[in-house]
Amino acid sequence: MTEFDPTDPETTDPETTDPDTTDAEATEGDPPPLVGHRLTLVPTPIGNLDDITLRALATLEGADVVAAEDTRRTRTLLDRHGVATPLVRLDAHRIPTHGRGVLAGHRHVAYATDAGTPGISDPGADLLRMALGLGVHVEALPGPTAFVPALVLSGLPVHRFAFEGFLPRKGRERRERLTEIAGRVFTTALYEAPSRVAATLEELAEVAGPERPAAVARELTKRFEEVRRGTLAELAAAFAAQPPRGEVVLVVGPARSDAGGAASASPDDATAEVLARDLVAGGVWGRDLRRALEAAGVARDAAYALAVRFGRRSDPVQ
């Protein structure tokens, strides 16, 4: 047998692979639907290993097998919570070749990706589609996902938002997506690799304007969690000077409601005040508060006044 190489989908992890399932996909023709079989997508922590629900743990414990994008990572989590269910590796490369075998070989498969909710910018969606095609009953448990705390912590308006996942790396599709983000009158969250954060912020500043409010949420729920808020130009410059370490979510505020014609109604004074109080309660002060209010459509002078009124003396609002 070829030696196990975790980066090579063709090799088999002897420690974690169920020998009964690895070649089940070799079945010819249309197999009968897997009636009575179950796939549960189980969200796992995005950093802090305690961020897992009781139901997720019970599901991992009770399943016949835990299929994981990365068995070593998932094993750490299972060990931490005393779960001894067998593990099998099912990453993006192996789903097309081994997915059916895993689903056919076990009545109840729990699936965990590297982090967060399976199906959100990871191979979970591919496995789910395969399961649906095979007649497997599917479930998705609610749980951690990176873009939600990033949106909330950004301080930008999130009563309505778009989630972009990862942008295409280049070409026309990327430009079109950037232009869409620029034109939106609501907030957008996107995933980005740390090495590309500064370049993407620069591109966003070019299409959406340097003054567009934004935030970069880094290492959420981990020891070095950090959220930086500022304009696209400020953030692009800061991260060009010092590229971020770890995992990152970018959040881009809405186009000003009075800037492009596609306006949403500006909040009235009472709504603006409620919004300001909410932002302050969430730790958004001073300049960040003024910008977040402006991004929500509050007139510039009113946003300034609210930022001064709710601010601490030491917080600059300009």
Rounded CA separation 160/224 (Å): 28
CB nearer to ligand SAM: pick between 91 and 294: 91
What is the smallest separation between the CB atom of 162 and ligand SAM, expressed in angstroms? Answer: 15
Residues 6+ apart with CB under 8 A from 2: 10, 11, 12
200 binds ligand SAM (CB under 6 A): no
Residue closer to ligand SAM, measured from CB, 47 or 230: 47
Among residues 42, 63, 90, 120, the one that binds ligand SAM under rule CB under 6 A: 120
User: What is the token pair recorded at 260?
Assistant: 């492009």
> CA–CA separation, 129 vs 231, rounded Å?
39
Contact flag: residue 217 with ligand SAM (CB under 6 A): yes
Torsion (CA) 289, 295, 297, 302 in degrees, nearest 10: 30
Least Å from the CB of residue 47 to ligand SAM: 4
Neighbours of 47 (CB within 10 A): 19
Q: Which residue's entry shows tokens 């023709």?
A: 29
State the minimum distance, in angstroms, from the CB of residue 165 to ligand SAM.
8
Residue 201, interface with ligand SAM (CB under 6 A)?
no
Angle 220-221-222 (CA atoms, 0-180°, nearest 5)? 90
Q: Tell the smallest beta-carbon distance from residue 51 to ligand SAM (Å).
A: 10
Among 248, 284, 295, 307, binds ligand SAM (CB under 6 A): 248
Q: Both ends of the chain: CA-CA distance in Å?
A: 66
C-alpha distances out from residue 31 to 14, 22, 103, 107, 253, Å: 27, 16, 12, 16, 49
The total of other beta-carbon atoms located within 10 Å of residue 96's CB is 13
In 3D, which of 219, 247, 251 has the Cα closest to residue 122?
247
Q: How far is the CB of 146 from ligand SAM (least distance, A)?
A: 3
Nearer to ligand SAM, 151 or 249 (CB): 249
| Binding-residue pattern over the window 78 to 117 for ligand SAM, x denoting contact by CB under 6 A | -----------------------------------x-xxx
- Is 188 near ligand SAM (CB under 6 A)? no
* 193 vs 274 by CB, closer to ligand SAM: 193
Assess 51 for contact with ligand SAM (CB under 6 A). no
**What tokens were used for 196?**
């590309």
List interacting residues with ligand SAM (CB under 6 A): 46-47, 113, 115-117, 120-122, 145-147, 191-192, 217-222, 247-249
